[in-house]
Amino acid sequence: MLHQPTVDQLHQMRLGAMAQAWQDQAQHAELDQLGFDERFALLVQAEHLHRQNRRLRRLLQQAKLRISGACLEDVRTGKSKGVEASLIAQLSTCRWLDEHLNVLVTGPTGVGKTYFGCALGQQACRRGYRTAYRRLPRLLEELTLARADGSYTKLLARVQKTQLLILDDWGLSPLSDAHRRDILEILEDRYGCGSTIITSQLPIDKWHAYIGEPTIADAILDRLVHSAYKCELKGASRRKELPTTL
């Protein structure tokens, strides 16, 4: 039987994983005991898994998560940690992304807010959602530069198309009038069509004062807080658990 022409055709159709799986089958005589349907199913599974993994790698690369290895399975749960296992199970389904809900993560420094946000981001990538991680101060700098070079609208459009936006370090630096308007523009564009994760050391009841301008603060919080899961993480700083490097 001439295998090479078929292999070449599979590669031409961009079915390289299927071609490799077919060649691998030829090296295992025990697979001859399987019927055609079973062997063909193995080829399809190999191609499907390859494409899933390739898409996941692409989504994770585009997301630029600050903690690339974060995962929900490693998030510490319990009343003493401020997040219950039942909530993790609920968030892991990513149904909240389909419903365009937000997740607000607060707590003192070092309790794992960024890790939690990145773990949710990785789970979103696993489920095929376009995700982006940004530190809020850095994103505001990008928007300031974009306004100066004429790419402001293009950058806003790119942020809007992101199905999950993770904004880390909310409340870390003061906001200018332009920054307040930038945040409102982002949240207005995303309202009802995307989800946002906020991580902050500031309690949510301090956010209005942080934003500063009452009218804009009302508009921002209306779009952000009312349709959100709220997680207040607790416990000692996890950074104290890290080994000291001399």
Residue whose C-alpha is closest to residue 184's, from 235, 143, 129? 143
Per-residue pLDDT band for 239 (boundaries 50, 70, 90) equals low
CATH number at residue 209: 3.40.50.300
Q: Is residue 4 part of a domain?
A: yes
The mean pLDDT value for 101-120 works out to 95
Looking at the structure, do residues 185 and 98 belong to the same domain, yes or no?
Answer: yes
Q: Is residue 29 part of a domain?
A: no
| Domains: count for the chain | 2
Q: Is residue 46 part of a domain?
A: yes
Looking at the structure, do residues 142 and 228 belong to the same domain, yes or no?
Answer: yes
Residue whose C-alpha is closest to residue 17's, from 45, 39, 40, 36? 45
Looking at the structure, do residues 134 and 204 belong to the same domain, yes or no?
Answer: yes
Looking at the structure, do residues 136 and 214 belong to the same domain, yes or no?
Answer: yes
pLDDT of res. 156: 93
Q: Is the pLDDT of residue 145 over 70?
A: yes
Q: Is residue 191 part of a domain?
A: yes
- Range from 27-41, 48-62, 113-127 carrying the lowest mean pLDDT: 27-41
Looking at the structure, do residues 132 and 206 belong to the same domain, yes or no?
Answer: yes
- Range from 37-51, 86-100, 123-137, 218-232 carrying the lowest mean pLDDT: 37-51
Q: Is the pLDDT of residue 244 over 60?
A: no
| Cα–Cα distance for residue pair 23/76, rounded to 1 Å | 44
Measure Cα distances from 50 to 46, 56, 59, 138 in Å: 6, 10, 14, 35
Q: Is residue 122 part of a domain?
A: yes
Task: State the chain's mean pLDDT as an integer.
Answer: 87
The mean pLDDT value for 35-60 works out to 77
The mean pLDDT value for 68-92 works out to 90
Looking at the structure, do residues 188 and 75 belong to the same domain, yes or no?
Answer: yes
Q: Is residue 243 part of a domain?
A: no
pLDDT of res. 16: 72
Looking at the structure, do residues 8 and 129 belong to the same domain, yes or no?
Answer: no
Q: Is the pLDDT of residue 163 over 70?
A: yes
pLDDT of res. 241: 53
Beta bridge partners of 104: 198, 230
Q: Is residue 75 part of a domain?
A: yes
- This prediction has a pTM of 0.80
The mean pLDDT value for 9-13 works out to 76
Looking at the structure, do residues 59 and 77 belong to the same domain, yes or no?
Answer: no
Task: Note whether 142 and 109 are within 8 A (CB).
Answer: no
> Tokens 């000291």 belong to which residue?
244
Looking at the structure, do residues 49 and 73 belong to the same domain, yes or no?
Answer: no
Q: Is the pLDDT of residue 108 over 50?
A: yes
Residue whose C-alpha is closest to residue 127's, from 93, 85, 161? 93
pLDDT of res. 113: 95
Q: Is the pLDDT of residue 246 over 60?
A: no
Looking at the structure, do residues 49 and 81 belong to the same domain, yes or no?
Answer: no
Looking at the structure, do residues 151 and 102 belong to the same domain, yes or no?
Answer: yes
Looking at the structure, do residues 10 and 109 belong to the same domain, yes or no?
Answer: no
Q: Is residue 203 part of a domain?
A: yes
pLDDT of res. 38: 78
Full residue range of the structural domain in which residue 16 is found: 1-23+41-63
